[in-house]
């Protein structure tokens, strides 16, 4: 390799010969840069007719020379350079062509409404597409040709089933205890403390048990779904599945939906009886109600209709939590912050949709007299 230069009148000619691979001659490069800075030089010409192979070390030298020429406003003649090397130089010194947005520019009200409408329709289409794909996966599962591993289903069942028993039991016990306390405050004024058993039983088995399990599982399992799948999105594992032709809705979403739909009614059942035990603890120890009398009123208030309504809530909540968690995981961004945002959105939207669907189910049950 040879880097030579000479000055003829107002032209600095740089001779490039041979291969420039890992070129490192600091003194030679310094002398070249100083010559290019000379006030008498009005043109820098490159002679690369004998140039062989080259790497980034040569690109650095030529970029520095071209920057010097541009700064001084003199001619930079690179006609003898290979085309790919010239393109690389142009790219290295390219000006940022992105338009500069005026931070003080205010958006028109109608434009704001239009942008919101377009964004809403795009989100709605994306959500409905995901929902349709998920239900198609469930249909393929029952048809027997879903692309899903049984080990994934069993692992998901273990995560949202046995491992959630302790926290569901504890929280539900405390909720039943609180319901008994709150009810006893008013019932004491009428001397009807014994009806605390009926209050706690109906409240827990019809709605409170399912809602408490839903909130717990949204924060525990829904967030886990979003974080796990979101991390796979960041690591490009989902892209790899799509490249191999594996349906993401079958392989990742389906086992998680099935796991929550199966376990939620069972957890609601545990929550119902844990809440009843919490109410019984308050009634028998603090209100002085005999245990036999308390459970007699609790049994009389226990209706099969209320019980089945509560289990149906749990079934619906299982779908909602799993869909929200998987949706925000699949559509997560490509950085760590996006995983946190997806996790937060999964929990928030799961709880919002649970409350909305609770209102719809309650209204429907009222209309049909259930």
The reported pLDDT for the residue numbered 38 is 84
pLDDT for residue 97: 56
Determine the pLDDT at residue 226: 92
Instruction: Tell me, yes or no, whether 235 and 140 share the same domain.
Output: yes
Q: Within this chain, do residues 334 and 230 fall inside the same structural domain, yes or no?
A: yes
User: What pLDDT score does 100 carry?
Assistant: 58
Secondary structure in 3-state letters for 6-69: EEECCEEEEEEEEEECCCCCHHHHHHHHHHHCCCCCCEEEEEEEEEEEECHHHHHHHHHHHHHH
Residue 333 belongs to some domain of the structure: yes
DSSP state of 106: P
**Blockwise average pLDDT, block size 10, the chain, 370 residues:** 77 84 79 84 85 83 86 85 84 66 66 87 89 90 87 88 89 90 78 81 89 92 92 89 88 92 92 90 83 86 87 93 93 86 93 93 86
In this structure, the answer to whether residues 184 and 85 fall within a common structural domain is no
- Domain holding 156, by residue range, is 127-368
Phi, psi dihedral angles at 96 (to 5 degrees) = -65, 115
Q: What percent of the chain has pLDDT over 70?
A: 96
* 346 located within any domain: yes
Same domain, 194 and 295: yes
Token pair 């000479």 is at which residue? 6
- The pLDDT score that the predictor gives to residue 191 is 72
Q: Is residue 29 part of a domain?
A: yes
Residues in Cβ contact with 23 at an 8 Å cutoff, skipping those fewer than 6 apart: 1, 3, 55, 57, 58, 61
Residues 293 and 207 occupy one common structural domain:
yes
Q: Which pLDDT score, from 0 to 100, does residue 106 have?
A: 65
Whether 118 is covered by a domain: the verdict is no
| 222 in the same domain as 316 | yes
Which of 92, 114, 140 is at the close of a domain? Answer: 92
pTM over 0.75: no
Q: Both 137 and 10 in a single domain? A: no
Confidence (pLDDT) at 108: 77
Count up the domains in the chain and report the number. 2
Phi/psi at 74 (5° precision) = -110, 170
* DSSP code per residue over 116-144: HHHHHHHHHHHHHHHHHHHHHHHHHHHHT
Helices (H), the chain: 26-36, 56-72, 83-92, 109-143, 150-160, 165-187, 196-203, 209-217, 223-234, 237-243, 248, 254-285, 291-301, 304-330, 336-368
The 10s digit of each residue's pLDDT in 184-241 is: 877 777 777 778 888 888 888 988 899 999 999 999 899 999 999 999 988 888 888 8
Q: How far apart are CA 63 and CA 65, in angstroms?
A: 5
305-345 pLDDT, tens digit per residue, is 888 998 999 999 999 999 999 999 999 888 888 898 999 99
């Amino acid at each position: 390799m040879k880097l030579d230069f000479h000055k003829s009148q107002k032209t600095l000619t740089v001779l490039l010969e041979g291969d420039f691979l890992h070129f490192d001659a600091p003194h030679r490069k310094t002398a070249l840069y100083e010559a290019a800075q000379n006030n008498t030089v009005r043109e820098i010409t490159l002679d690369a007719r004998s140039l062989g192979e080259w790497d980034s070390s040569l690109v650095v030298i030529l970029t520095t020379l071209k920057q010097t020429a541009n700064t001084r406003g003199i001619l930079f003649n690179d006609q003898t350079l290979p085309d790919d090397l010239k393109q690389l130089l142009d790219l290295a010194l390219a000006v940022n062509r992105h338009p500069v947005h005026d931070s003080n520019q205010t958006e028109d009200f109608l434009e704001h409404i239009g942008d919101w409408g377009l964004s809403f329709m795009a989100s709605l289409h994306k959500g409905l597409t995901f929902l349709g794909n998920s239900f198609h996966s469930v249909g393929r599962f029952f048809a027997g040709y879903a692309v899903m591993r049984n080990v994934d289903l069993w692992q998901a069942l273990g995560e949202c089933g046995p491992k959630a028993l302790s926290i569901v039991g504890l929280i539900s016990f405390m909720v039943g205890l609180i319901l008994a306390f709150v009810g006893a405050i008013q019932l004491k004024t009428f001397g009807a403390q014994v009806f605390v058993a009926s209050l706690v039983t109906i409240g827990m088995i019809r709605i409170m048990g399912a809602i408490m399990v839903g909130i717990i599982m949204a924060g525990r399992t829904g967030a886990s779904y979003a974080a796990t799948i979101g991390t796979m999105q960041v690591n490009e594992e989902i892209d790899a599945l799509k490249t191999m032709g594996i349906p993401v809705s079958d392989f990742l979403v389906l086992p998680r939906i099935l796991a929550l739909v199966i376990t939620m009614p069972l957890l609601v059942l545990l929550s119902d009886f844990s809440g009843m035990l919490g109410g019984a603890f308050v009634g028998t120890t603090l209100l002085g109600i005999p245990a036999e009398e308390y459970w007699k009123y609790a049994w009389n208030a226990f209706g099969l209709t209320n019980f089945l309504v509560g289990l149906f809530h749990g079934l619906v909540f299982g779908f909602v939590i799993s869909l929200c968690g998987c949706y925000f995981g699949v559509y997560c961004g490509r950085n760590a912050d996006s995983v946190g945002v997806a996790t937060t959105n999964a929990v928030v939207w799961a709880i919002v949709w649970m409350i909305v669907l609770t209102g719809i189910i309650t209204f429907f049950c009222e209309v049909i007299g259930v």
